[in-house]
Amino acid sequence: MSELINNSSDRIRKLKSLLLKLHEGNTAEDIKTELSGLLGSVPYGEVVQAEQELIDEGMPPSEIQKYCDMHSQALKDNIDLTYAKEVPEGHPVHTMKMENRAIESELSALRNIFIKVKFNSSDINPEAELLKIRSVFNHLMDIEKHYIKKENIIFSILETYGITGPSTVMWGKDDEVRSFLKSSLSLSEEAVSDSAILQGFIDLMFAPAADAVNEMIDKEEKILFPMCMDKFTDLDWYDVYKQGNDVGYCLYVPSSGWNPGGLTSTDARETGNGRIRFDTGSFSVEELESLLNCVPFDITFVDKDDKVKFFSHGKQRIFERSKAIIGRQVQYCHPPSSVHIVNKILDDFKSGRQSEAKFWIPFRGMFVHISYYAVRDENGNYLGTAEVTQDITDFKKAEGERRLLTYDE
């Protein structure tokens, strides 16, 4: 065991020496040759440890960031991933790797356009090719979600393990990628009159942006993810999983969830930060209530026992509601003459014979649409009924089309 520790310490010491040579002006190719000769394959954890020690010894993170791409080039193909752990589908690392595959697909589309412009310049329509490039960079802007999960969630957990330097450097490189993408998107909106101008755009900004994105994928998958898999517990990863759902996904949506075991579905709905989780996102209580009160229709929910449990309270409700109805049997909230219709709807919903009922009536100068929907869980079990009421007077008046921004008075 002591021999393994000594070998690791010796490799880290030599690796630090080689990285320092980069900062002293040696080329990445020179260092790569020397690295291969001295060290062979370097375990990914030792790369992080070497950078962390350089920072602890006084090298500013900004200095390492400045030469970060040269580090990557020098270490390329020399990082040992033999013992990197595998992860199941739905695990945050699997999801982020699949996001990287989707990003690489966009980069591949870009490179194909670059090749076409360079070698078939006389046969292309520069404006059409630039439009394709703009579309790809629009897609790549989705990287923001990928980086936020990494920076705000993964890096914060790394800090609890005393690892701060490499993540600080990587965050700085993320910001460089962001700058490249924003500048590329802005440049793609310029007019091009010929292929020479478009080639200039590619050389100046588009190709360097694509390279920067690709370099970050390499850093994540050869350094960051394997290191985190060694350090993080299942509870750490479950925290990443829950918070990551709040952020969203980059160009890829996992087909299954992930649970490390021992956690109930109720636990999975809790975010730990006062938010209410759904399969497609989350709300704070204030956000959810404000959303329900601002939409242009009224919602009332009656549970499976026919008791009123909720109603939205927007500024212009069509049918007034009082908080006194909360908890009351819904039959008691209707005139006796219409209770038989209420019961018919509820019976049909509970039995599964029907799932919707719709009415429309003139009411106080409005034309009101009233819909009832059976609310069921994923297994089809009846949970209650939702009533949705909306004034559709303006919808009935609409003709033709409205494509330009026009604010209604």
Average pLDDT of the residues in 377-405: 93
Instruction: Indicate the CATH number for domain 92-263.
Output: 1.20.120.520
> Is it the case that residue 305 has pLDDT exceeding 70?
yes
Question: What pLDDT is recorded for position 75?
Answer: 53
Angstrom distance (rounded) from CA 254 to CA 298: 34
Residues 144, 30: contact at Cβ < 8 Å?
no
Does 41 or 178 have the greater pLDDT score? 178
Mean confidence (pLDDT) of the chain: 83
The Cα–Cα gap between 71 and 64 comes to: 9
The pair of structure tokens assigned to 402 is: 């409205």
Instruction: Name the least confident of 7-21, 66-80, 166-180, 273-287.
Output: 66-80
Q: pTM for the complete prediction?
A: 0.63
Q: What is the mean pLDDT of residues 334-359?
A: 93
Averaged pLDDT for residues 234-251: 88
Neighbours of 126 (CB within 10 A): 19
Distance between CA atoms of residues 299 and 296, nearest Å:
10
* Predicted local distance difference test score (pLDDT) of residue 37: 53
Query: How far apart are alpha carbons 249 and 237 in whole angstroms?
Result: 16
- List every span in the chain annotated with CATH 1.20.120.520: 92-263
What is the structure's pLDDT at 72?
A: 58
Average pLDDT of span 227-253: 88
pLDDT at position 245: 82
Is 274 or 110 the better-scoring residue by pLDDT? 110
Residue with tokens 């956000």: 287
Res 348: pLDDT: 97
The kind and range of the H/E element at 384 are: strand 382-391
Most confidently modeled range among 23-37, 40-54, 116-130, 243-257 = 116-130
Angstrom distance (rounded) from CA 388 to CA 373: 8
Please tell me the predicted confidence (pLDDT) of residue 61: 66
Mean pLDDT, residues 76-90 taken together? 66
Predicted local distance difference test score (pLDDT) of residue 230:
82
Higher-pLDDT residue of 172, 51: 172
The CATH number of the domain covering residues in 295-397: 3.30.450.20
Query: Is the pLDDT assigned to residue 217 strictly greater than 70?
Result: yes
Sheet-wide strand order for 308-311: 308-311, 298-303, 382-391, 366-376, 356-363
* pLDDT at residue 269 greater than cutoff 90: no
pLDDT digits (tens, 9 = 90+) for 28-61: 566 666 655 554 455 555 666 676 676 677 666 6
pLDDT above 90 as % of the chain = 48
Rounded Cα–Cα distance for residues 300 and 256 (Å):
32
Give CATH 3.30.450.20 domain extents, the chain: 295-397
- Secondary structure class of 397 (helix, strand, coil): helix
Helix (H, G, I), strand (E, B) or coil at 229: helix
Residue 2 pLDDT greater than 50, yes or no:
no
Which of 133, 129, 131, 140 has its CA nearest to residue 182?
A: 140
